[in-house]
Chain A
Amino acid sequence: IQMTQSPSSLSASVGDRVTITCRASQNIISYLNWYQQKPGKAPNLLIYAASSLQSGVPSRFSGSGSGTDFTLTISSLQPEDFATYYCQQSYNAPVFGQGTKLEMK
């Protein structure tokens, strides 16, 4: 299974609504997770099972989709949200998307 994220990079401003897309090469039902990674740090789980918010993650983060097309949405971008985001399928052996770098405009 291949995972393709778009865009690869994105410029946005504080307060913006941001959407990142992840597409699987075959049906993965809802076996899709989202992670945030800041430079020099380990990844941090945001969303699991496509739309479930991990404990402690702010509610401005949300996930949707099923089958092959998924989205991660940040409803109102905060300064601490500038980071790289990865999707990952857990339908079978894990595969990560290539990442989306979210930068300040």
Chain B
Amino acid sequence: EADIYQTPRYLVIGTGKKITLECSQTMGHDKMYWYQQDPGMELHLIHYSYGVNSTEKGDLSSESTVSRIRTEHFPLTLESARPSHTSQYLCASSYAGSDTQYFGPGTRLTVL
């Protein structure tokens, strides 16, 4: 099973601040994903990456950006946080050619 880490686990921040949510995995997975999860709603894919220097937007429009400079690291950045960004953000990873995704514990973000 993959080891995938997210920090911080919880974040409360004021409107207009720049934030970066960290995601790292130690299994050498090629593909990585960011999902947004709201209570009672399905998970929405907001970004994904097939490998280093690859980033793609998901189905749900998001004002966040991502980067993939190293295989194991896939940070998500919000340049200017707003209350509408309040949500849980889940990071996942998988091997290329595998459809099984392994999830991190999530970051619960609250923007005041």
The answer to whether A and B belong to the same complex is: no
